[in-house]
Amino acid sequence: MQGYCLYRPPLLRFFLLLGICFVVLPFFSCAARINGPLNRDGTAEFFINVSLEPRMAALIRNLAAAAAAEDGPILDGPAVALSMSAAPGIDSVSFENTAPAAIEGPVRISQISELGGGRNFISFEQGSGGGRCLVSIDRDTGPEILTLLSPEITDYLAALMAPLATGESLDKAEYLALVSSVYSRAISDEISRSRILASINFPGTIRSVRGGTFSGRRADFDIPFLDLLVLETPLSYEVVWNQD
């Protein structure tokens, strides 16, 4: 692990999410769900539920104990909410702990196109005939967006050697092999099977979706966590809808 800082106590409180398909969500081995509407004016109200997988939760707990950190939840809901609330485009965040390694709560977005601070992370258009929303992230924009949304998460992901944070050019197999050699095969297995599930309601009947499925106004996305961490190929999700 030469060149990486394994643990910094303040990071434990902010351990979290790309969140969100459109914001910042689980950047660690976890299960994450996002539900809610994206409105015609670009505002949104999402409800997020995040829980860490058992072995990753145990790893973080052990790192905290080794650093003599104070006892507390592995995911600190209010602390994560405070960190995310300062990001561009976010109106308010309120998370509570449902377990030491699980948080949930609402995220209100004041303008979806402002997320990422102008890094072309999200494009949102609404006209008289309908609208379009495009979410894209690659190895150039990913680390910049992550730092802007939460510097604390960036530092911890760098300790986990995730290309999303470090900017390194690794493929998925190389990254999993690295995690397995430094931590364990069990941790790399949890990362490889973790998913981000999002169900978003759009302002009109959906005409097409890239990267997901749709029915009526709802689009559903099943995003492999590993794809986001490594960005071996750019991620791109697009929804086009009619004006109802």
% of the chain exceeding 70 in pLDDT: 75
Q: Is residue 2 part of a domain?
A: no
Per the model's pLDDT, the better-predicted residue between 6 and 136 turns out to be 136
Q: Is residue 234 part of a domain?
A: yes
Q: Is residue 94 part of a domain?
A: yes
Judged against a pLDDT cut of 50, whether residue 239 lies above it is answered with: yes
Which string of DSSP letters, residue by residue, matches the chain? -TT-----TTHHHH--EEETTTT-EE-SSEEEEEEEEBPTTS-EEEEEEEEE-HHHHHHHHHHHHHTTPPP--SS-HHHHHHHHHTSTTEEEE--EEEETTEEEEEEEES-GGGTTTTSS-EEEEEETTEEEEEEEE-TTHHHHHHHHH-HHHHHHHHHTT-HHHH-----HHHHHHHHHHHT-HHHHHHHHH-EEEEEEE-SS-EEEEESSEEETTEEEEEEEHHHHHH-SS-EEEEEEEE--
Q: Is residue 5 part of a domain?
A: no
Q: How many domains does the chain have?
A: 1
**pLDDT one-digit tens code per residue, 115-166:** 867 667 889 999 999 999 999 988 888 877 777 666 556 666 776 788 888 8
pTM listed for this prediction: 0.79
pLDDT at 159: 65
Q: What is the residue range of 76's domain?
A: 11-242
Judged against a pLDDT cut of 90, whether residue 232 lies above it is answered with: yes
Q: Is residue 63 part of a domain?
A: yes
Q: Is residue 152 part of a domain?
A: yes
Q: Is residue 6 part of a domain?
A: no
Per the model's pLDDT, the better-predicted residue between 58 and 18 turns out to be 58
Q: Is residue 4 part of a domain?
A: no
pLDDT at 75: 73
Highest mean pLDDT among 58-67, 98-107, 216-225: 216-225
pLDDT at 3: 38
